[in-house]
Structure 1
Amino acid sequence: MDNLPDRPNPHAHLRASDSDRDKVVEVLRDALMTGRLTQDEHGERLEQTLQARTLGELEPITQDLALPGQAFRPAAAAQPSTGVVPIEEPANPEDSFDTVVGIFGGGERKGRWRVKRRTNALCVFGGYDLDMRDAIFEGREVTVYAFAVFGGVDITVPEGVEVRTQGVGIFGGFAGRGSKEPDPTAPVVVLKGLALFGGVSAQTAKPKKH
């Protein structure tokens, strides 16, 4: 009985949701914190997670990190965030969504605001500043979809936060720079989108002195 081959997952063909990918990200972060993955291995598997489209593509990523059939229950997610950057999981992750707009004008978010799991930032002939230094993150990984057309989106993240840039600049700039040594307990900010005759940038800043 023990030598029987594993049964194929009947749900492998189903599309993976953001929540499914978040669970895998938490498992990988827990494995990094406990030394089961190196920094390079963690980065490689995180990239695979972000690119996964089905449950079948997600499953092998953590196959050697959890017992077969065991639900995702990483130690870091089972406890309140104790890191320098506060993380508070929302009651309903599907509702963790926000949109900011700067058209022929400007706007900003700063202070003690909540960074949703997904934020759309649209700037046309205008600009928007997202200052996350004192913010509360609603996920261990948050995504900002930034679209700047003859405008700009500037993001400031706390020290220790990793920034992953996956956007494109056309006659403009699209760049992100997180901490050189990311804190494994801190969130990851994924920056996607397009800068057309404009600019999108993310940079790390030390916490404000009060």
Structure 2
Amino acid sequence: MTDDAVPDHRAPAPAPAPAPDLRASDADRERVAEVLREALAEGRLDMAEFEERLEATYQARTYGELAPITRDLPTAGAAAPPAPVSFTKAPAESGSWAARIVGGEGSSAGGVAILSGFERKGRWTVPKRFNCFAFMGGGEIDLREANFADREVEINCVAIMGGLQVIVPPGVEVVVRGIGVMGGFDHPRDDDGPPEPGAPRVVIGGFAFWGGVGVSRKVTRAQQLRLKEQRRQERVERRQARRELRGERRDREY
């Protein structure tokens, strides 16, 4: 075999990167957003970093502004189209309640606010009984990203000239048994329908005197971002449909 017949096994040279000052498209921004979603799911980014980078992604106008956003992530620069993402289902809403009822002890037994405040939020484990007390102060007990030590947990609230707020995710059954004297206990709205199968039951009791205990249902910040992305994507699709319709009309005119 002559030298001319030797096959060339060298990999083709990579395509040159786009010039930094070129304008990025909606598809480019969506690819970066998908990389960020994957990094959040794998624990490479926390929620604050994810939100900050996602906002920067949708504000980016050029490739030069997009490139640094995923430079430290292993899938940065991937050209694959984004995988389908559910914009309406959080992990708990997708049948994973059993994984969040972990048993054992809680990571926090209670909270006290005397002329001050406390928070229990993010990733934590709610014990079978959580006691909280507020005197001329306030506290927030956020269960949206929490695990549960038991299928049924009790949150005992005492608020004296203070306020306590309990936030539960949609799908959780809530029972309010508190007593208010010149104060009160809120009851969450049930607009989101009956409790989901396998979801925990949260019993809220206690006493409020010249104070209040608020109970509300809210989605997580991640779900809010998903819904925001969905609305944005719908707007992009509507604009694209209008452009295509105008193009068809021009073609018919000519």
Q: Residue 85 and residue 163 in structure 1: after superposition, are their counterparts in 2 closer, same or farther (change >3 A)?
A: farther
Greater relative contact order, per chain length (Cα 8 Å cut-off, separation 6+): 1
1:206 is aligned to 219
- Tell me which of 63, 69, 89 is aligned to 2:103: 89
**Equivalent residues in 2 for 1:111-190 (5 A)?**
111-177=122-188, 179=190, 180-190=193-203
Deviation at 1:181, TM superposition (A): 1.6
* CA distance in 1: counterparts of 2:99 and 2:113, whole angstroms: 27
Deviation at 1:201, TM superposition (A): 1.6
Paired letter, 1:123? A
| Native 8 Å contact 1:97 1:118 kept in 2 | no
Q: Residue 178 and residue 132 in structure 1: after superposition, are their counterparts in 2 closer, same or farther (change >3 A)?
A: farther
Kindly tell me the number of residue pairs found equivalent between the two proteins: 127
Q: Residue 122 and residue 201 in structure 1: after superposition, are their counterparts in 2 closer, same or farther (change >3 A)?
A: same
Q: Which runs of 5+ in 2 are unaligned?
A: 1-94, 226-254
Deviation at 1:87, TM superposition (A): 1.1
* CA distance in 1: counterparts of 2:189 and 2:96, whole angstroms: 20
The secondary structure found in structure 2 opposite 1:184 is coil
| Native 8 Å contact 1:168 1:194 kept in 2 | yes
| C-alpha RMSD of the superposition | 2.1
Paired letter, 2:130? T
Deviation at 1:159, TM superposition (A): 1.2
Consecutive aligned runs of 4 or more in structure 1 exceeding 6 Å deviation: none
Q: Which runs of 5+ in 1 are unaligned?
A: 1-80
Q: TM-score, normalised by structure 1?
A: 0.56
More helix by share: 2
Larger CA Rg, structure 1 vs 2: 2
* CA distance in 2: counterparts of 1:114 and 1:200, whole angstroms: 21
Q: Residue 96 and residue 114 in structure 1: after superposition, are their counterparts in 2 closer, same or farther (change >3 A)?
A: closer
Is 1:194 aligned to residue 207 of structure 2?
yes
Paired letter, 1:183? E
Percent identity at matched positions?
38
Q: Residue 208 and residue 97 in structure 1: after superposition, are their counterparts in 2 closer, same or farther (change >3 A)?
A: closer
Deviation at 1:208, TM superposition (A): 2.4
Deviation at 1:97, TM superposition (A): 7.2
